[in-house]
Chains A and B, each alone.
Chain A
Amino acid sequence: MNNLEKYTKVFTETFEIPEEEVQSLKYQDIKAWDSVGHMGLVAKLEEAFDIMMETDDIIDLSSFEKGKEILAKYDVEIK
C-alpha cells in the first residue's frame, strides 16, 4: 500500500465514509469530523506514519488536502 492509499484509508476508516467523498473533505463538513473525530484522525495518522504531530499542525489540519501538506513536514510524501 502506498502512502496515498494509506492516508486515504485513515480518513475513510475514521469517518466511515467512501473513498470518493474523502478528496474534498474539510473539517466539520460531516458530523463525524468534529473535535473528537479530529483527534481520532490525528491519532490514526500518527500511528499509520509513525510520527508525532506538533500542536500547531494538529490545529492546521483543516482538510484532506491540507493534511498532505502537513505530513510533508514530517517527511511523509503523500503520492
Chain B
Amino acid sequence: MIEYTPQNIRMWSLLGSCGAFGTAASALPEIDKNILILTADLCYYSGLTRFKETYPDKLINVGIAEQNLIGVAAGLAKEGFNPFVTTYASFASLRCADQVKVNMGYMKLPVKLIGLTSGLSVGILGPTHMCTEDIAVMRSIPNITILSPADCTETVKCVLEAAKINSPVYIRLTGSFNNPAVYKKDYDFHLYSADTIKNGDDITIIATGSMVFNSIKAAQILEKRGLNSTVINMHTLKPLDIEIIKKSCKTKLIVTVEEHSIYGGLGAAVSETLGAINRKPKHLIIGISDEYKHAGEYKYLLEQYGLSPEQIAEKIEKSYKET
C-alpha cells in the first residue's frame, strides 16, 4: 500500500518521475489482480526492478519493439488484462502513433501507456529521444484520457487512478532525477478537475507537468513586482477542465506554460476553449518554440527554450504590460 509520508514524497522526488512510476507500479496488483506491466527494454529505467522481482509473472519485456509492445498490450487488454505499458514518450507517441490510434483510440482497448521522459529531460540524447510533440499527437486521437502529473507524488496518484479506468490512458511523465515537489504532503487528487494551487487577481497561469513548479516560482517573482497570479495545475489534458478556463477569463491575462511544443499542446487546448467564449482576455502561450535545438543537459535546454522561472516571469510581465 502506498503511504504519502513526507519521506516517501521526498524519495519519489529524488527518484524522478520514472522511479516514482516504478514505486506506484508495485502497488498496482493490490488494486487489480489483472494488472500486467509491459516494457520495451526499459525495465530498469521505468523503475520496475523491484516489481520484476516481486511479480515476475506480471512483467513482460518485449525488447526494443515499441510498436509490437502496443499490439501485445492491446491483445492482453482484449483478453481482460489491465496492461500498463512503458517506453520513451517520443516512441510511445510518434513511433507507435498508428498502433495507438487503432488499438487505443479506435478499438478503445484500456491500455495505460506511460510516456517516460517526455519534454527535454533526456536532452543529452538529442531530439530523437526528447519529446515535445506527444500531447499534440495524443490529443488528436479520440477516446484517450491524457494525464500530465505536476510532480512525482502526482505521478503516483495518476498511476493508481489510471488503474481504475476501463478505457485508454496516456500518462506523460516530465522532469528528471531530483524532481522538485509541488505537493509536499498528501492532498486530494481529482481526476479531470484542475487544481488551483494559488489565487491572484491579475493573471492566470495554467501549467502542466514539470512547468507547474516553474510557474509557481514565476508567480512568486511576479508577486514581488506587484502582479498577483492564480496558478492552476492542469494535470488532465483530455478531457480538459473547461469550467476552470471560463473562470480564468476574469483575469486580464491567461498564460499557459508547458514543456511541449507551442503547437498542439496545453496552449492549443486552452486556446480552442477560449475561441468559443465571447469576452476573454489575451492568451500568452509559453512552451517549446518550433525548432529542434542541439542536444544538451536538461537545465541548459530549459533555459535555451526560455522555460526557467525567471524567463517565464519575464515573458508574462512583458505581455501583461502590453495588454
Contact = CB atoms under 8 A, between A and B. Distances in A.
A43 B22 contact: no
17 contacts: A31-B53, A34-B50, A35-B19, A36-B15, A36-B19, A36-B23, A36-B47, A39-B19, A40-B7, A43-B10, A43-B14, A44-B7, A46-B10, A47-B6, A47-B7, A55-B178, A58-B178
A35 B6 CA distance: 19
Size category, A interface: 10 to 19
Interface of B: 6-8, 10-11, 14-15, 19, 22-23, 47, 49-50, 53, 177-178
A35 B15 contact: yes
Contacts of B7: 40, 43-44, 47
B15 A39 contact: yes
Interface of A: 31, 34-36, 39-40, 42-44, 46-47, 55, 58
Given A36-B47, A47-B7, 5 more contacts: A31-B53, A35-B15, A35-B47, A40-B7, A58-B178
A47 B15 contact: no
The majority secondary structure among interface residues of chain A is helix
Contacts of B47: 35-36
Contacts, number: 38
A39 B11 contact: yes
Given A47-B6, A55-B177, A34 B49 contact: yes
Sorted from nearest, which 4 A-B pairs have the closest CB atoms?
Answer: A43-B10, A39-B14, A43-B11, A43-B7
A16 to B, nearest CB: 14
A47 B10 contact: yes
Given A36-B15, A36-B19, A58-B178, A43 B8 contact: yes
A34 B23 CA distance: 13
A36 B7 CA distance: 12
A47 B14 CA distance: 14
Contacts of A43: 7-8, 10-11, 14
B82 to A, nearest CB: 23
Contacts of A44: 7
Nearest to B176: A55
A40 B6 CA distance: 11
Contacts of A31: 53
Contact of A58 (B14, B49, B50, B53): B14
